Amino acid sequence: MRLVVVAGTPGAGKTSVLMHTTRRLLQLGMKPAVVKIDCLWTEDDRRFERLGVPVIVGLSKDMCPDHFSIYNIDDMLAWAASQECDVLLNETAGLCLRCAPYPDSCLAVCVIDVTTGPNAPLKVGPLLTTADAAVVTKGDMVSQAEREVFRERILEVNPKCRIVEANGLSGKGSAELAELIRKGPETTAEMRLRHNPPLAICTLCTGELRVAKEHHRGVLRHLDGFMEYMGE
């Protein structure tokens, strides 16, 4: 079984690119299954269903969708195996830019939209810096110079990643991505994360609604970056 974790900010073009890539994988004789993780709502399963591949949705509700995705990976892989598939495409919600839901033995793909501007690669954090491939979408909306500057910016934060220039509308880049998937790693029994998800649970996480700092406990970070411990 192969695992492909596709992360990227909402609307970056994950589903659009994955649909084209799925078609290509089918042409190559592979058997893909898709799991879409989102927080509250998604229609992506209906889009993937049109391709005739097995697809399920997991909604994380009030939990971090990346945390949810991470500890459900075993279940997802078992489900894909039960569907007699040989590659699991996991499209994440991509909301939390501190977590990166990539285990070590997977193909970690970060989809990033070039129209978000040349500073975007600096903002997405571990989602991009720990990815194997950065798939750049919406290049049809900017000049070649902007695409090249964007590429340079990605390489600044992740010098080793493979950059795929893709287009979710035309399918550009999907052949290249499918090839990376075909040659990608097999999953292993004991997978570990590439990046530590943040551990801190703050008072807000446990349901405090009052705004003022005096009501909050634990490690608090001030606007100027100063951290202090409040509590027993």
**One character per residue 7-46, x = contact with another protein (rule: CB under 8 A):** -----------------x----------------------
Q: Which residue of 99, 131, 161, 164 would you call a contact of Zn ion, by CB under 5 A? A: 99
Contact status: 113 vs Mg ion (CB under 5 A): no
Contact status: 15 vs Mg ion (CB under 5 A): yes
**One character per residue 124-153, x = contact with another protein (rule: CB under 8 A):** ----------------xxxxxxx-xx-xxx
- Structure tokens given for 20: 């084209």
SS3 70: helix
Whole-angstrom Cα distance, residue 190 to residue 103? 10
Question: Within positions 178 to 217, which residues make up the interface with Zn ion, using CB under 5 A?
Answer: none
Q: Which residue is nearest to Mg ion (CB)?
A: 15
| 93 versus 154: smaller Cβ distance to Zn ion | 93
Using the contact rule CB under 5 A, the part of the chain among 15-23, 60-68, 118-126, 220-228 near Mg ion is 15-23
- Which entry of ligand GTP, Zn ion, another protein, none binds 96, CB below 5 to 8 A by partner kind? Zn ion
Q: Which of 8, 119, 134, 132 is nearest to 66 (CA)?
A: 8
Spatial contact of 66 and 189, defined as CB atoms under 8 Å apart: no
Pairing label, strands 87-91, 55-59:
unpaired
- Which entry of another protein, Zn ion, ligand GTP, none binds 165, CB below 5 to 8 A by partner kind? another protein
Whole-angstrom Cα distance, residue 100 to residue 106? 13
Whole-angstrom Cα distance, residue 124 to residue 121? 6
Distance of CA 104 to the CA centre of its chain: 14
**Beta strands per DSSP E along 48-123:** 55-59, 87-91, 107-113
Spatial contact of 143 and 115, defined as CB atoms under 8 Å apart: no
| 65 versus 184: smaller Cβ distance to ligand GTP | 65
Contact status: 175 vs another protein (CB under 8 A): yes
| 65 versus 126: smaller Cβ distance to ligand GTP | 65
- Structure tokens given for 72: 């459900």
Using the contact rule CB under 5 A, the part of the chain among 42-50, 60-68, 76-84, 114-122 near Mg ion is 42-50
Give φ, ψ of 43 to 5 degrees.
-115, 5
- What residues line the site for another protein (CB under 8 A)? 24, 115, 117-119, 140-146, 148-149, 151-153, 163, 165, 170-172, 174-176
